[in-house]
Structure 1
Amino acid sequence: MITGIDHIVLTVRDLERAVAFYTRVLDMQAVSFAGGRRALLAGGQKINLQTIGQETRNHACIGSGDVCLLTSLPPDQVVARVTEQGVAILEGPVRKAGARGAITSVYFNDPDGNLVEVSSHADDAT
């Protein structure tokens, strides 16, 4: 029945601060939609951003997100990019099990405490 993931949602304190972080640190493209909502493009998917109370159908709380993003960069380049942007690495590079096999991951937090994992497939992580 399910064929993939279209988008996920992260809850943040300040939409523009979150957009600035993801565009600066991870070179993601920010977009606006539906009357000023904000999102970040991630390949063929997107990460929608919301503030507390913006969506009343869920039980959102700031900093509870945990997202794994795929990259074609080797882990050492991910570490270099993230640390040069002043972001502390929490863990990694470390081998993990991804949806399609082994991945090598680097973990850090966004400004709201959401856990961000940037991973490359083991075959690409050379």
Structure 2
Amino acid sequence: MIDHLDHLVLTCTDPDATIAFYTGVLGMQLETFRGGRQAFRFGNQKINLHVRGSEFEPKAHLPVPGALDLCFIADRPLDDVIAALNAAGATIIDGPVERTGATSRIRSVYLRDPDLNLIEISELMA
């Protein structure tokens, strides 16, 4: 029945800090669409941005900043990701470590966004 994920919604407290992180640190593209709403586009997916207290309706029952644990597959080797994160001043809190991804083993590093959501960036392993 389900083929793939189209988008998810990220609720934040400080949209400027969140935009700086997802575009400046992670390299996603900021998109503005219908009614001035914003999203981060990457590959064939996007993350819609909501600001706590002024979420778009309908919304999750309890949208809470900092409650997400997201894993992204990198478009380059993990060592290059680590170098880019270090250059951007991001703090890696764990890794590299091996994990089990949706389709194969992955090698990952972890960091936090401005709302303390856990961000995992991974490379697929052979």
TM-score in terms of structure 2 length: 0.91
Give the aligned CA root-mean-square deviation in angstroms: 1.3
Alignment of 1:105-116 (within 5 A): 105-116=108-119
Equivalent pair of 1:12/1:62 in contact (CA under 8 Å): yes
Cα separation, 2, equivalents of 1:48 and 1:100 = 25
Deviation at 1:24, TM superposition (A): 0.8
> Paired residue for 1:12?
12
Alignment of 1:1-126 (within 5 A): 1-53=1-53, 54-55=55-56, 57-58=59-60, 59-123=62-126
Cα separation, 1, equivalents of 2:34 and 2:101 = 32
Deviation at 1:21, TM superposition (A): 1.3
Runs (4+) of structure 1 exceeding 6 A deviation are: none
Deviation at 1:16, TM superposition (A): 2.6
Cα separation, 1, equivalents of 2:76 and 2:49 = 25
TM-score in terms of structure 1 length: 0.91
Deviation at 1:73, TM superposition (A): 1.6
State the aligned residue count.
Answer: 123
Cα separation, 2, equivalents of 1:50 and 1:4 = 22
What 5-or-longer segments of structure 2 have no aligned partner?
none
Structure 2: which amino acid aligns with 1:104? R
What 5-or-longer segments of structure 1 have no aligned partner?
none
Deviation at 1:72, TM superposition (A): 2.5
Equivalent pair of 1:11/1:65 in contact (CA under 8 Å): no
